[in-house]
Amino acid sequence: MDSSLTISNNQPINAQQVVDLALQKLLLALRKFGNQISPTHEYALGELLGGLVGQVLGIGTGRKAYALPCGAGKTQSVVALIAALYELRVPATIAVSAAQILALGRLKSDLNRAGVPTELVGLKHSKNQRELELMANAAGEPDLVEFLADTGDKEFPIMLLCHARIRGAREFPAFCCYRGKPRDLLIWDETLMTTDAQALSLLDVRTSMERILPELAPQSTLRNVLQQVALVLQSETELQGAGSSPSSELFLPGCDIASARLELKRTGTYGGRMRVAAVETINSLLKLVELPFAVALTGNGATGEGLIRYTVAVDPSLKNIAILDASHAIRRLAKEPSIEDRTTEAMRGCKRYDNVKVTQYKIAAGKTTLMTDIANVKTLAIHVARDISSIPESECILIFTHKGDANKVLEKQMRCALEAEGIDTLATVNGAPRLNWLTWGNETSINTMRHCGHVILCGIQRRNPLELAASMAGQKEDLSYRMTMAQLRELIVSEMAHCVLQGMNRGRCRDLVNGVAPQMTMTIFDREEGLSKVLDPHLPGINWEVLESTSATSRTLTAARQISEYLQALHWEVQSISIQKLKKLLSIPLCKESMTAAIDKALVLIVVSNLRTGHRWGRSSRSLTRISIN
């Protein structure tokens, strides 16, 4: 293909010239950050830039995904590309979309440092100055504020915006145009989901109807709509149960759904928690059935049966998109028909993980398991505490937990449980927190934890089968699309593997030195068996070990038994011993409160063991003293 072409200013541009300059700038920037680039890594970056330049110049357009590994230079590749285009005076117009404003602010700062004037770069959002300052300060980057300012509705050749401004737009997104024409390229950071899916379980719908219908008048519009929904659902589930294929689209002809929603709103949300939940479910149901929907029976029990619907979230006329997504090769949901995988062998093999050791313990640590019983949190904390104790105190640790709720209940419960096991959750290493916490949902957006040499996953986010069935139907743009149970399970595991890949790359192994990730360890507490099978081919050289969980004996109880056995073995002439000396002799890694609890348990164990002899030990200030009872 001829790489010499004429673009909007009628000047011939040589694509290879742009690639060479961009690669030169990229390698210089990466080395300035301390990176050591291997030949394979350099070749992979050249291939990525070649693909991006081709898309910008119209040589090879389309929706194309590049699965360069985490930390290999995707963001800096974008900076180098735009800087090279600017230096060569190529009048290209580019939009860059990311999940968070902070990431866009960093990109604008990097572009400025690379020589691209800020007056050529726009950033659109709705945050005010105070919110931006709080955001930057919370991230430890107060100087970033000057690059976060909203530039308003003015058009810029380079436009930075969040995914939400593109996804769900009712018409061609305004900022994806420049002077009335589509931009030369849209660069999309992370997975591109082209549709939004909704799902609602039949169990929740039926339970909510049973609660709300008795309140409604016989001629109620809301009653009529709900009864029509019930008839459609009954008919469709019976047909599918008899072996018929799913209907491609279900409708509610003649139903005044808008009036039904107004009537539901007038009923109010008074009453107990169950009624409030029922009203919310009915409201979600009415929103869902406004458009064509379907019924999916996934074979995963009552919660796996429900209504599904999707809407197109990314305008189909956005045809030239470069997707920079390290998870593209793993996530089955990313395999949308309109997206071409342009990942090369060099991109797949430019990062090795020989220095990364993963240990997975098969233990129940799902969100529901932990949220429903605090005892399960305490059991998990015993395992986590044992893992933390095996890590040098000079090493920072990153811990992932389930989100729980807005108050971070699970994280707080885990902290308390770890403290009860003698872990100092407030310890620091060179002034920085030793234990660093993230919840699932932040695994793709935060890169400030790469100083952590150990990552612990306290369970892995597992998506609901019905919701995944809806998402896959949406990506296929076919409401009748169904998966076998085996295919659905593979999809569930692929989404969990995506979480693991992104979670581990928040830690030290995100970096890349001469083609190899630095030394890091990761411990996974989750019983899912298929993770290593999915991830191994995409993490060359990684060391992965799967173990059955061992008995979860509390560290406090273990210490109590040590103390009890030691004191009972002492010669009778030893009448006392200081608690500090005892702790040092037995190498007990407990904090003050946990040590006190361990001693209390030990004294009880000694009494039970010596009921006949009457020999006991008791507290005396900061020591333990032998007590003889005759």
Q: Please state, in angstroms and as integers, the Cα–Cα distance from residue 160 to each residue in 7, 121, 308, 414, 611, following that order.
A: 23, 7, 33, 38, 76
| pLDDT for the residue 138 | 85
Among residues 556, 581, 554, 551, the alpha carbon closest in space to that of 566 is found at 581
User: Given a cut of 50, is residue 4 above it in pLDDT?
Assistant: no
**Residue 386: partners with Cβ closer than 8 Å, 6 or more residues away:** 555
Instruction: Pick the more confident residue, 373 or 191.
Output: 191
Tokens of 129: 């100055």
What's the distance, CA 3 to chain centroid? 40
pLDDT band at 616 (very low <50, low <70, confident <90, very high): confident
**Span 356-548: which CATH code?**
3.40.50.300
First to last CA, the chain: 101
Q: Which amino acid is at 310?
A: Y
Report pLDDT digits (tens) over 219-244.
999 999 999 999 999 999 999 988 89
Report pLDDT digits (tens) over 355-398.
999 999 998 898 888 888 888 888 899 899 999 999 999 999 99
User: Given a cut of 70, is residue 405 above it in pLDDT?
Assistant: no
Place of tokens 């020589």: 115
Q: Stretch 46-74: mean pLDDT, rounded?
A: 95
Report pLDDT digits (tens) over 128-151.
999 999 988 988 899 999 999 999
Report pLDDT digits (tens) over 290-327.
999 999 998 877 778 999 999 999 989 899 999 999 99
CB 355 within 8 A of CB 56: no
CB 179 within 8 A of CB 321: no
Topology at the third CATH level for domain 555-628 = Arc Repressor Mutant, subunit A (1.10.10)
State the DSSP code for 421. T
Q: Please state, in angstroms and as integers, the Cα–Cα distance from residue 439 to each residue in 375, 433, 503, following that order.
A: 20, 17, 10
What's the distance, CA 300 to chain centroid? 24
Place of tokens 């407990």: 590
| pLDDT for the residue 612 | 53
| pLDDT for the residue 237 | 93
| pLDDT for the residue 65 | 97
CB 418 within 8 A of CB 456: no
**Residue 497: partners with Cβ closer than 8 Å, 6 or more residues away:** 330, 531, 534, 535
Adjacent-strand bridge partners of 352: 516
| pLDDT for the residue 3 | 35
State the DSSP code for 330. T
| pLDDT for the residue 331 | 94
pLDDT band at 553 (very low <50, low <70, confident <90, very high): low
Among residues 91, 83, 146, the alpha carbon closest in space to that of 116 is found at 83
The dihedral of CA 383, 385, 388, 392: what is its sign?
negative
Q: In 10 A of CB 269, how many CB atoms?
A: 13
% pLDDT > 70, the chain: 94
**Interior CA angle at 217 toward 212 and 222, to 5°?**
60
Q: Stretch 156-172: mean pLDDT, rounded?
A: 85
% pLDDT > 90, the chain: 66
| pLDDT for the residue 613 | 56
What does residue 579 show for φ and ψ, rounded to 5 degrees?
A: -65, -40
| pLDDT for the residue 207 | 94
The dihedral of CA 379, 383, 389, 394: what is its sign?
negative
Residue 590 and residue 257: Cα distance in Å, rounded? Answer: 61
CB 71 within 8 A of CB 510: yes
Helix (H, G, I), strand (E, B) or coil at 6: strand
Residue 536 and residue 540: Cα distance in Å, rounded? Answer: 7
Place of tokens 């002809």: 253
Q: Which amino acid is at 513?
A: V
Q: Stretch 2-13: mean pLDDT, rounded?
A: 48
Tokens of 504: 């581990």
Report pLDDT digits (tens) over 407-461.
577 888 888 889 888 899 999 999 999 999 999 988 887 788 999 999 999 999 9
Report pLDDT digits (tens) over 569-578.
888 888 899 9
Q: Stretch 604-620: mean pLDDT, rounded?
A: 73
Residue 182 and residue 39: Cα distance in Å, rounded? Answer: 37
Q: What kind of architecture, by CATH, is found in domain 4-194+314-349? A: 3-Layer(aba) Sandwich (3.40)
Residue 581 and residue 561: Cα distance in Å, rounded? Answer: 17
The pTM assigned to this predicted structure is: 0.83
